Amino acid sequence: MPATIFDSAVFRNVYTTEAMRTVFSDESRVQKYLDFEAGLAKAQARLGIIPKVAADEIARHCSVENIDMAKLKDATERIGAPVLPVVKQLIALCKDDLGEWCHWGATTQDVTDTATVLQIKEALELLEREINGICDALAALAKKYRDTPMAGRSKLQQAVPISFGYKMATMLAAFERHKQRLAELKPRVLVGEFGGAAGTLSSLGKDGLKVQGELMKELKLGRPAITWHTVRDTFAEVGCFLGLVTGSCGKIALDVKLMMQTEVQEVAEPSAEDRGSSSTMPQKRNPISSVYVSTQTALVRQFVAALLEAQVEDHERGSGPWEIEWIVLPEIFMLSAGALSQTRFMLEGLQVNAKKMRENLDITNGLIMSEAVMMGLGKAMGRDTAHHHVSDIVKQTVKTGRPLIELLAEDKEIARHADRKKLEELMDPANYLGVAGEMVDRVLAMRK
């Protein structure tokens, strides 16, 4: 009976995706063990280290369908790791004792680590597609709403106007950086492992590095400069990368939740029948995807901390921290897949209320434009003088509730430097977007 959120018949495709669950399934992991064994046998046969007939026989049986998973479970519980039980079953499948050439010169960690790298390779391909989709969605929003004014917010208070396109472009820039990070880390992370008992390949004599090179060609992985059995920075790096990526998803989710508030109503998640409905309040339309993303990203950060703990390994083969990776790496990838999928869905169907954005700029009776007025008057009055003068008038707006434009227009000192028409120009949010549009264009232009 399923016991975790990832295997639940109800939640399984809410917090992760079917494709990512498949990558980290028992069957996928065992198949990658077998891919290693087949690749090793073929590599060694080419080098004349084992008979070709043995390599052919070994490779012929390297399919997960040939493995008795119930026997594997029982043997793993006795032995402590699944690689040896898989190898034993593989040897038994081979005829004429040819299976005795299986696993020649390898050790359990070689197989386990390389299988994990192969899983990471597949998983990153899935995540890369989601990242690209998110970039496309953000780019479309940034372009469409390049000049749509809205309130920029500082410490949850209205600050100065920005454009919604600018807001989306800031996140697009982050995800474009994530694409760069991914491209940079792949050559470091997608490197196989083959070092033997203590990493020196001593069981293969002078042929060790030749076998290692041929094996990595078979598996289409990078070749390590030196064995990394207890040096785990690459796995930690991919975990930290996913912490960064999902952190950006969490940022988007938080802003969407805040902008969906009844009092704000500037955006809404994609709609569908009953989506976000309440069991008791008919009027409610709750955020859904952004809530899931907030949960997923928080957990990723916790699991990344555990993955960093797994770096602290003893000597040449560890006595425990390694197994942390077995638990948290799949969790990190599955949660990341869910977060990216939900973020992409949310952005691709995001409902933008430009009218409400404009209305929200007016709720402070013009106070959001006080900096614009101060800077505009500062050219004639001096910045500091203008700042103090406008500040006094702002206090009157707060006290009386009268629009800032009215009080400014009545002020005799200000009237010496700006008439009503000039003040209205200064008070128009569309005239105080700075270079937001140009920044949006720069981000869109940097896309590959």
Residues with active-site annotation = 278, 317
The one-character DSSP state at 403 is -
Q: Could you tell me if residue 103 is left (phi over 0), alpha (psi between -120 and 50 degrees) or otherwise beta?
A: left
Q: Is residue 307 within 8 Å of 239, Cβ to Cβ?
A: yes
SS3 of 72-118: HHHHHHHHCCCHHHHHHHHHHHCCCCHHHHCCCCCCHHHHHHHHHHH
CA–CA dist 66, 68 (Å, integer): 7
Q: Is residue 313 within 8 Å of 230, Cβ to Cβ?
A: yes
Three-state DSSP at 352 gives strand
Q: Is residue 140 within 8 Å of 424, Cβ to Cβ?
A: no
Q: Kind and range of the H or E element at 131?
A: helix 108-144
Q: Is residue 189 within 8 Å of 127, Cβ to Cβ?
A: no
The DSSP bridge partners found for residue 222 are: 191
- Nearby residues of 421 by Cβ (< 8 Å), 6 or more positions away: none
CA–CA dist 440, 254 (Å, integer): 21
CA–CA dist 98, 45 (Å, integer): 12
C-alpha dist (Å) from residue 255 to 62, 148, 165: 49, 17, 14
